[in-house]
Amino acid sequence: MKLGVVILAAGQGTRMKSDLPKVLHRLAGKPLLGHVIDCARSLSPVEIVVVYGHGGERVRAVFDGQQDLQWVEQAEQLGTGHAVQQAMPVLKTAEQVLILYGDVPLTRSETLQSLVAATEHQGFGLLTVTLDNPTGYGRIVRNDGGRVQRIVEQKDASAEELTIDEVNTGIMCVPRERLAEWLGGLSNSNAQGEYYLTDVLAMAVADGFDIQVQQPASAVEAEGVNNRGQLATLERAHQRDIAEQLMVDGVTLRDPSRLDVRGRVTHGRDCEIDINVIIDGDVTLGNRVRIGANCVLRNAVLGDDVEILENCVIEDATVGAASKVGPFARLRPGAELVGEAHIGNFVEIKKSVVGLGSKVNHLSYIGDTEIGEGVNIGAGTITCNYDGANKHKTVIGDRAFIGSNSALVAPVTIGENATVGAGSVIGKDAPADKLTLTRAKQVSVDWRRPTKK
Ligand code: UD1
Ligand code: CA
């Protein structure tokens, strides 16, 4: 069966009180609409149409270049039925049409798959939920035999209908050609003066359809975002799901409510994550990786047995097996620790390779540098990689020892086994195997401290 998906995303989102269109607000680091589009894609539809309105150009720009999306503007928001109607001329090959909402981000693919499957033979499928407090939602009206007859909106409902606790999620899957007919017959003579998509259901029933109702595993799947409170609630629900899955997959989380994953994390066995960790973008953890409290990992690859101590920020960086980083270290883009490295507190590393077993333990800046194996970089060492106009490279050979508080003025090369005396400013290459130092000679003179008059 050929499936088409129509995503309604034209609403203004007034209650967000934002200059950003509602569907561009982020959940787990991704725009709300992005979640819905990705879920739609998981169903392998033949076409996806997004109906946009308010702030439309900004919405389109975010998804620019995604060839499988078609965009239709709904200039005036005259109701959900009107919105779907705008999409109909664009749909070409779909036999069934699934209607989703750009501000309902957490619907699971499995839920939609079973809804779609239930309508395989030109059926009419509807996703409903049963709520303790159904206020505001369209109510599902069933006949004495339990068959769904129509949907009545809150504002149009009688007192008796308002007691119904089964509500419309808005998500439905319907035959395209029939939908086009039904939409053509909609009227806006109702309490809101809108063309209600929900009215097509009664038309389908009149045409002899037996409505296939499905319910999601959790009501969260049908919840929309209208304000920032709801956005935060759904963020938590989503993070909780991710955390549960990580634990099922064998990751120890010291507190599942204090982890935020805003991207994808893949991991080996027996990893441990302490509290208040943010994982952003694509992060890969090997086996037995330990991450301390308050770390941010953004697009990072961590090898087996890596230990990240508390309060580190690691971005676009690779940490080789058995390395130890932190506390309070910052690995910036292009940092590559080959393995068994020690990077200590208040050390910043950018666009540099740190060879096997090398140590940069305290208070250093290492930028545009190649450090060999078994190197020791003393406390406070700075690579002076920038002359105010251009960046230059520092090369430090295997087993070199850089004394504390040295400045290595790039471009410069420190040979293998070289030793640099503490406090040196090294502006010329330091040869292998030698001690190089630029320290002023130490003198002692007789001297009397001034005294107060
Ligand atoms: C709608 C349903 C209601 C259901 C509820 C679930 C109708 C008539 N009612 O009500 O039965 O319980 O959703 O949340 O469908 N939109 C457009 N263009 C429009 C109007 C709406 O794109 O002209 C989009 C909005 O951006 C939003 C969605 O459609 O994402 C729902 O619109 P909204 O006005 O919030 O519908 P409700 O009144 O809540
Ligand atoms: Ca409305």
Q: Mind listing the pLDDT tens digit for each residue in 38-50?
A: 999 999 999 999 9
- Do 309 and 325 contact (CB within 8 A), yes or no? yes
In 3-state terms, what secondary structure has residue 386? strand
Q: How far is the CA of 310 from the centre of ligand 2 (A)?
A: 48
Q: How far is the CA of 150 from the centre of ligand 1 (A)?
A: 16
Ligand nearest to the CA of 224: 1
d(CA 148, CA 209) in angstroms, rounded, equals 10
Ligand 1 neighbour 77 (Cβ under 6 A):
yes
Ligand 1 neighbour 107 (Cβ under 6 A):
no
Scored b (16 or more CB within 10 A) or e, 236-273 reads ebbbebbbeebeeeebebeebebbbbbbebebbeebeb
Structure tokens at 444: 């002692």
Ligand 1 neighbour 125 (Cβ under 6 A):
no
Q: Which residue among 77, 80, 187 has the greatest number of ligand 1 atoms within 8 angstroms of its CB, and so is best to mutate?
A: 80
pLDDT at 140: 98
pLDDT at 322: 98
Which atom of ligand 1 is the closest one to the Cα of 169? 6
pLDDT at 56: 86
Q: What DSSP string describes 42-106?
A: TT--SEEEEEE-TTHHHHHHHTTT-TTEEEEE-SS---HHHHHHHHTTT--S-SEEEEEETT-TT
User: pLDDT for 381-421, tens place per residue?
Assistant: 999 999 999 999 999 999 999 999 999 999 999 999 999 99
Which atom of ligand 1 is the closest one to the Cα of 22? 26
DSSP letter at 430 equals B
DSSP letter at 361 equals E
pLDDT at 38: 98
Which residues are the active-site residues? Answer: 362
Q: Could you give the domains of the chain?
A: 3-222 (3.90.550.10), 228-436 (2.160.10.10)
Structure tokens at 167: 């509500």
Which atom of ligand 1 is the closest one to the Cα of 51? 22
What percent of the chain lies above the pLDDT cut of 70?
A: 100
Residue 299: closest CA among 348, 253, 265:
265
pLDDT at 12: 81
Which atom of ligand 1 is the closest one to the Cα of 167? 12
Work out the pLDDT band at 115, boundaries 50, 70, 90. very high
pLDDT at 397: 98
User: pLDDT for 287-321, tens place per residue?
Assistant: 999 999 999 999 999 999 999 999 999 999 999 99
d(CA 195, CA 328) in angstroms, rounded, equals 57
User: pLDDT for 208-226, tens place per residue?
Assistant: 999 999 999 999 999 999 9
Of 54-63, 143-152, 259-268, 362-371, the least confident? 54-63
- Do 77 and 11 contact (CB within 8 A), yes or no? yes
- Do 244 and 262 contact (CB within 8 A), yes or no? no
Cβ burial of 79 (10 Å; 0-12, 13-18, 19+) is: buried
Q: How far is the CA of 15 from the centre of ligand 2 (A)?
A: 13
Ligand nearest to the CA of 10: 1
- Residue whose Cα lies nearest atom 32 of ligand 1: it is 80
Return mean pLDDT, the chain: 97
Q: How far is the CA of 416 from the centre of ligand 1 (A)?
A: 69
User: pLDDT for 233-256, tens place per residue?
Assistant: 999 999 999 999 999 999 999 999
Ligand 1 neighbour 11 (Cβ under 6 A):
yes
DSSP letter at 235 equals H
Work out the pLDDT band at 335, boundaries 50, 70, 90. very high
Q: How far is the CA of 84 from the centre of ligand 2 (A)?
A: 14
Q: Is the per-residue pLDDT at 452 higher than 90?
A: yes
Q: Is 222 left (phi over 0), alpha (psi -120 to 50) or beta?
A: alpha
Structure tokens at 344: 């200590």
Q: Is the per-residue pLDDT at 373 higher than 80?
A: yes
Cα separation of the two ends of the chain: 100
Work out the pLDDT band at 94, boundaries 50, 70, 90. very high
Which atom of ligand 1 is the closest one to the Cα of 74? 18
Work out the pLDDT band at 11, boundaries 50, 70, 90. confident
The H-or-E segment that residue 199 falls in is: helix 199-206
Q: DSSP H helical segments within 220-379, as ranges?
A: 228-248
Q: Is the per-residue pLDDT at 124 higher than 80?
A: yes
Residue 182: closest CA among 168, 199, 167, 166:
199
Q: How far is the CA of 171 from the centre of ligand 1 (A)?
A: 10
Helix-helix angle 80-87:176-184, to 10 degrees: 130
Taking residues 163-167, report their average pLDDT: 98
